Structure 1
Amino acid sequence: MSSAILDNPVAVRRAAMDLLARREHGRVELVRKLRQRGATDDLIDPALDRLTEEGLLSEARYLESFIRYRARSGYGPVRIREELTQRGLVRTEIEQALADSGIDWAEQLADVWQRKYAGQLPQDMRERAKQGRFLSYRGYPLELISKLLRGRLND
């Protein structure tokens, strides 16, 4: 990335498009990155408004892509929701994107558990707590984890 000075609308737009060409970004994230590169809000806002109007910047696409990526990496909806909230996205939009993702979180949980524990249900409370903590840290709902560790995920 060149260290061009972002002091005019063209430079700000070009920098934003360079970032979007690499991967989807949310607006809050783009604002932060452009500020770090020296752009001012009075240049950033109109540039991002225009990119949104042109369909090049899409919060919905960003949410969809982020959720898919994190889910593929073995993370559950609780953790993904938290990460998106920390990135400044709107809670209702996050909830909608999670609902629309079509991801079967129970199946996802079972896959993560299978890879980590080779399908071995915990034999005692200590092992159960250990497996539960791991899966909870990964961002799966406690209700699903509890069902899984009782061998009743499909009930």
Structure 2
Amino acid sequence: TFDHQHHQSVVSTRHYRAPEIILDLGWNQSCDVWSLGCVLMEFYLGRTLFPTHDSHEHLAMMEKILGPIPTHLLQQTRYTHTHNCGRLMWDDSNCSDHYNQCEPLKHMLRRAEEEELRHLLDLISLMLEYDVTHRISLQEALWHPFFNARKKFL
């Protein structure tokens, strides 16, 4: 979909859907950067990062992996049943096994010993930025150290 074309409110394959789409905040091509970040993480983990069909659990998984969703994004959504006072409402006691398998990205980064893995996880963290105004662009991603290290060998 190009900028001048009609934008459906729901796009992307569910497991790769960006938070702005789930929260119905509108979207642009940066949602593709989010989806690509999910795919890269899937290659690393060997499993889908957000394996759920429930939008609320999807947001909870995001929070468990990436930290809290910014208050200003939650306050913009019309889905007020998902949050209270700018915090996502989620009860950990009745969550799925998929939710329980979620590990914070910052923990993975701390454990990463190889420089290449640290670069990959850092790139993914920039691609999985909640706020589209801070999310890395595809052009910027190409200059990330993860890709620059490979250019030496080409």
Structure possessing the higher radius of gyration over alpha carbons: 1
- Normalised by the length of structure 1, the TM-score is 0.29
